Amino acid sequence: MTQKGLGVCYYPEHWPREMWASDVQRMADIGLTWVRIGEFAWSRIEPKPGQFEWAWLDQAVETLADAGLKIVLGTPTATPPRWMLSKHPDMLAVDAQGRPRKFGSRRHYCFSHEAYKKECARIVRLLAERYGDHPAICAWQTDNEYGCHDTTISYSDAARQGFQKWLAARYDNIAALNDAWGNVFWSMEYAAFDEVDLPNLTVTEANPAHQMAFRRFSSDQVVAFNKLQVDEIRAKSTAPVIHNYMGRITDFDHYQVAADLDIASWDSYPLGFLEDRIEADDEFKNQYLKQGHPDYQAFHHDLYRAVGRGRWWIMEQQPGPVNWAPYNPAPLPGMVRLWALEAFAHGAENVLYFRWRQAPFAQEQMHTGLYLPDDSPNVAANEAKQVAQDLSQLQADQIEPARVALIFDYESQWASEIQPQGQGFDYFDLVFHYYKALRRLGCNIDILPPNATNFGDYTVIFAPGVVTLTQAQQKALRESGAKVVLGPRTNAKTSEFSIPPALPPNFDGLPLKITNVESLRPSAGVALEKGQIRYWFEHIEGEVTPILNTEDGRPAIVEKDNLIYCAGWLDETALFNFVGALLGAVDIPIEHLPDGLRRRETSDHVVYLNYAPIAISHRDAEIPPAGVHFVRK
């Protein structure tokens, strides 16, 4: 069994060497066991092209190793030095408006630039050669937060050429592409692959099939970029390779990138995310201002457990106010501990805080760390120490298998961005909407990739909005033995982004077709007995049994055998009722939780997490704000 551990991200190159020993000593004192280093240090490792400075890094590694700390060594490819741009002036990504995205921050490269990829392979090879068998190098991190700052997609010349090659490989001949995309429409037919441009700056929207191809290509470029590094590392090292994904980055397929990794990790900034990537009203955001959204971290934990095929970490954990969200409050005392414990309850192997000491300079100077710039401890240092102590009680806890599965599919997200059909329709939101309803019922949930076909012991599987399901996937779902909840928008498109000839959902065993689709203004719902259908409502026909009708008598949810189809976006009330009844019907135990309280079951404990800003009484326990309450099973 893997030991659960705590760690921190550390930038020795930012500090005088005289401070290193004391830093490392204090890390050990707090109870940290892992330290991530190196991922932004290219200009210090190779200050001029081909001229290397290894001594400082050697010393940093030794200092950490001497204190018994385990190292995650990052490849520095997210921050190529300025001289790289002089060598490869066209290496920059280009934004959708056609403007090169300049040097002066980070992630200033295009994933399709072949020469830059060679430079990356070279630096990773040198690192792997030098440190690949060092006993303290216990893991590797490739690059940093692929896709952060909107960097997956580039409209550069390199991207265009890469796309044309990708298309040629996929379609073989241009007639096949024209046919697959329906280019007869609006006379968009091409005579050769090199006539196909990137789908930006078109007069009106480009063909959605064209857009989807470009999204797939862009995702594949990230996969290839990552694999190049993994291959170099594996040639010299047996330590596991990890990438640190960023929250709610969905432009590339995380499952596919992770297919080449040993472990997935993600960077968890609950307060930053609440402000900058979650839509909610003022009342909600004020309620959770200093705690973060009570389901958002858990969702990502469960997602990255899937991405990492069971193995996952938090590579960066928010320690206090950050610098990058629209508003940057301080966590409620206790939350820095709670967030870590929640991660462990969801199966994290390690949680690393970002960062050791707040840097007083450059872009992240307002991002706190465990220590302040004056080298005194900040609040998080104490909470981290507490977590280290808690951990000793939790080493035996293992993942408790879930009976409920929820599919999350990156391609479906691209589909909803390419063709929302109703303003604001967002696949991620749809899936998260289901996730929240299930969490309110106290369930453990497993997230699954769309190509899952082995459904083990799941009793209910939710697959709302999965844009395309192959025959094999349909068969696996149908024969899973579980209740399978489809719709809205499930299997609404073929793999080439067209409507299936027999009409959606086009699902074997479900005699149903969607004839008309309505997207609705947020204030114009379709009334149900309890709650409403909002944003999206499908008109359906077929030999199925209604489970729920609209007030005016049209089918809203229908079933046939173990297949259930939901023809709209149920609002919170309606979804909660539907999901609750369904879980009840298949005897999944549910527990109604007070506002702000969340529940996660491990092999040994039921863990209650209080995200509310006030104390909560539940089942004879009084749980303070930011409190974590363990009930031994």
- CA pair distance 266, 305, nearest whole angstrom: 10
Residue 59 in the binding site for a second copy (CB under 8 A):
no
Residue 516 in the binding site for a second copy (CB under 8 A):
yes
Find the Cα–Cα–Cα–Cα dihedral 323, 324, 328, 333, rounded to 10°.
Answer: -70
Q: Which of 382, 451, 519, 549 binds a second copy (CB under 8 A)?
A: 519
Shortest Cβ distance from residue 140 to Zn ion (Å)?
A: 17
The footprint of Zn ion on this chain (CB under 5 A) covers a number of residues equal to: 2
Stretch that binds a second copy, among 35-43, 226-234, 241-249, 483-491 (CB under 8 A): 35-43
| Residue keyed to tokens 């995702």 | 219
Q: Which of 161, 286, 398, 573 binds a second copy (CB under 8 A)?
A: 286
| Cα torsion 610, 611, 612, 614: sign | positive
Q: Which of 17, 21, 29, 48 binds a second copy (CB under 8 A)?
A: 48
> In a 3-state reduction of DSSP, which class is residue 618?
strand
Residue 427 in the binding site for a second copy (CB under 8 A):
no
Residue 97 in the binding site for a second copy (CB under 8 A):
yes
Stretch that binds a second copy, among 182-190, 225-233, 244-252, 585-593 (CB under 8 A): 182-190
Task: Indicate the residue among 49 and 589 with the shorter CB distance to a second copy.
Answer: 49
Shortest Cβ distance from residue 464 to a second copy (Å)?
A: 19
Site string for a second copy, 265-284 (x = CB under 8 A): ----------x------x--
Scan residues 567-626 and list those touching a second copy (CB under 8 A): none
Closest CA to 123 of 175, 53, 185: 53
Residue 285 in the binding site for a second copy (CB under 8 A):
yes
Scan residues 253-292 and list those touching Zn ion (CB under 5 A): 267
Shortest Cβ distance from residue 513 to a second copy (Å)?
A: 7
Closest CA to 104 of 129, 79, 125: 79
Shortest Cβ distance from residue 389 to Zn ion (Å)?
A: 27
- CA pair distance 42, 147, nearest whole angstrom: 19
Contact 169, 109 (CB under 8 A): no
- CA pair distance 500, 478, nearest whole angstrom: 19
Residue 333 in the binding site for a second copy (CB under 8 A):
no
Contacts of 447 (CB under 8 A, 6+ apart): 299, 302, 303, 305, 306, 405, 406, 407, 408
**Catalytic: which of 119, 316, 411, 538?**
316
- CA pair distance 29, 27, nearest whole angstrom: 5
Distances (CA, A) of 317 to 8, 77, 335, 368, 391: 9, 22, 11, 11, 16
Site string for Zn ion, 579-618 (x = CB under 5 A): ----------------------------------------
Whether the bond between 36 and the residue before it is cis, its omega within 30 degrees of 0, is no
Q: Which of 107, 254, 337, 433 binds a second copy (CB under 8 A)?
A: 107
Q: Which of 9, 41, 443, 548 binds a second copy (CB under 8 A)?
A: 41
Whether the bond between 81 and the residue before it is cis, its omega within 30 degrees of 0, is no
Residue 106 in the binding site for a second copy (CB under 8 A):
yes
- CA pair distance 569, 11, nearest whole angstrom: 46
Shortest Cβ distance from residue 143 to a second copy (Å)?
A: 13
Task: Indicate the residue among 51 and 186 with the shorter CB distance to Zn ion.
Answer: 186
Shortest Cβ distance from residue 267 to Zn ion (Å)?
A: 5
Site string for a second copy, 200-229 (x = CB under 8 A): xxxxxxxxxxx-------------------
- CA pair distance 287, 581, nearest whole angstrom: 29
Q: Which does 122 bind (CB under 5 to 8 A by kind): Zn ion, a second copy, none?
A: none
Strand order in the sheet with 445-448: 445-448, 404-407, 460-463, 483-486, 563-566, 555-560, 545-549
Residue 189 in the binding site for a second copy (CB under 8 A):
yes
Shortest Cβ distance from residue 145 to Zn ion (Å)?
A: 5
Scan residues 310-339 and list those touching Zn ion (CB under 5 A): 316
- Measured in residues, the chain has a length of 633
Task: Indicate the residue among 76 and 450 with the shorter CB distance to a second copy.
Answer: 76
Q: Which does 284 bind (CB under 5 to 8 A by kind): a second copy, Zn ion, none?
A: none
H helix runs in 554-609, sequence order? 572-585
Characterize the bridge pairing of strands 532-542 and 526-527.
antiparallel
Q: Which of 17, 87, 118, 521 binds a second copy (CB under 8 A)?
A: 521
Tell me how many degrees the CA angle 397-398-404 measures, rounded to the nearest 5: 130
Q: Which of 224, 228, 259, 330 binds a second copy (CB under 8 A)?
A: 330
Task: Indicate the residue among 48 and 118 with the shorter CB distance to a second copy.
Answer: 48
Residue 51 in the binding site for a second copy (CB under 8 A):
no
The footprint of a second copy on this chain (CB under 8 A) covers a number of residues equal to: 109
Shortest Cβ distance from residue 43 to a second copy (Å)?
A: 4
Contact 602, 400 (CB under 8 A): yes
Cα atoms in the 13 Å half-sphere on the side-chain side of 524: 7
Closest CA to 507 of 481, 549, 477: 477
**Catalytic: which of 145, 349, 411, 538?**
145
Characterize the bridge pairing of strands 605-610 and 628-632.
antiparallel
- CA pair distance 468, 413, nearest whole angstrom: 11
Q: Which of 24, 93, 588, 628 binds a second copy (CB under 8 A)?
A: 93
Shortest Cβ distance from residue 5 to a second copy (Å)?
A: 27
Whether the bond between 505 and the residue before it is cis, its omega within 30 degrees of 0, is yes
Contact 225, 120 (CB under 8 A): yes
Shortest Cβ distance from residue 515 to Zn ion (Å)?
A: 22
Stretch that binds Zn ion, among 101-109, 180-188, 309-317, 512-520 (CB under 5 A): 309-317
Task: Indicate the residue among 210 and 367 with the shorter CB distance to Zn ion.
Answer: 367
Scan residues 130-149 and list those touching a second copy (CB under 8 A): 148-149
Closest CA to 271 of 256, 254, 286, 249: 286
Residue 328 in the binding site for a second copy (CB under 8 A):
yes
Q: Tell me which H or E stretch contains 175.
A: helix 174-181
Residue 168 in the binding site for a second copy (CB under 8 A):
no
Q: Which does 560 bind (CB under 5 to 8 A by kind): Zn ion, a second copy, none?
A: none
**Is position 145 annotated as part of the catalytic site?**
yes
Task: Indicate the residue among 93 and 466 with the shorter CB distance to a second copy.
Answer: 93
Show which residues are catalytic. 145, 316
- The residues that touch Zn ion, with contacts defined as CB under 5 A, are 267, 316
